Amino acid sequence: MGRIEGKVAIVTGAASGIGAGVASRFLAEGASVLAVDRAPAPAPGTDGARFDSLQVDLAQPDAAARIANRCIERFGAIDILANNAGICDYRLLEDTDDATWDRAIAINLTAMFKLCRATAAVMKARGWGRIINTASIMAERPYPSLTAYTASKHAVAGLTKSVAIELGAHGITANYILPGAVLTGITAPLIAADPTLRETYDTMGVVNRMAMPEDIANAFLFLASDEASFITGHGLAVDGGALLKM
């Protein structure tokens, strides 16, 4: 049996990068997965009966309700919420217009809040749940040209801690992951435009490589499993030691 055999998971940002890695890992470990993204999520290489996908813009007001309802209709439950979808726009403070700020907060924070709210009652009724939110090492250490992104990721940490306090008595844990540099749809185009960035990313930490989506997916799996039942309100750095150097 897999480590989350029989569980039902929602994974956002599942069309590529970390989200795709998480969805694939969860499926391999026995869970049923609703993969959510604006783009089509890739079909699984495992049992299709345990996989469904939904294309939706998380900034839409009814997105959280649609996602929760779809998961219940398809699989009859919600056990794990992997809140991973996010955007990153590199702009200096003076160049960050209202639209850029509002979009970052809507996707990186408000959508997470609404999905936590939409799934909490279902998890409480089952007496078991795992909420795992993707933050960033920028939630611990700010970096120039990432004003909106950094602010949103700091807020993800606060949101997750509050959720952990409220839901802990119901058998639900809430944690957040702090990835460092990961090869995803966000970083790959930057590296393609400037190949010297790869060396920068590879040397951000102390293990001399940037992360692959699978590295982050492994952390999601741990926090989703029974092995992490006594861990909540925690920010798990999966950064190759980058925070040690910042």
In a domain, 237, yes or no: yes
Q: What is the pTM of this model?
A: 0.95
Q: Which of 141, 235, 146 is nearest to 190 (CA)?
A: 146
In a domain, 1, yes or no: no
The H-assigned helical ranges of the chain are: 17-28, 63-75, 98-105, 111-126, 147-167, 187-193, 196-202, 213-224, 242-245
By residue range, what is the domain housing residue 75? 8-245
90 an active-site residue? no
DSSP bridge pairs for 177: 134, 236
140-to-135, 155, 177 alpha-carbon distances in Å:
10, 11, 11
Give the active site residue among 143, 149, 176, 201: 149
Domains of the chain: total = 1
Helix, strand, or coil here: 152?
A: helix
- In sequence order, the 6+-apart residues with CB closer than 8 A to the CB of 57 are 38, 63
Say if CB 200 and CB 180 are below 8 A apart: no
CATH number, domain with residue 72: 3.40.50.720
In a domain, 2, yes or no: no
In a domain, 24, yes or no: yes
- Digit-by-digit pLDDT tens for the chain (246 residues) are 699 999 999 999 999 999 999 999 999 999 999 999 999 988 776 668 999 999 999 999 999 999 999 999 999 999 999 999 999 988 999 999 999 999 999 999 999 999 999 999 999 999 999 999 999 999 998 888 899 999 999 999 999 999 999 999 999 999 999 999 999 888 888 888 888 989 989 999 999 999 999 999 999 999 999 999 999 999 999 999 999 998
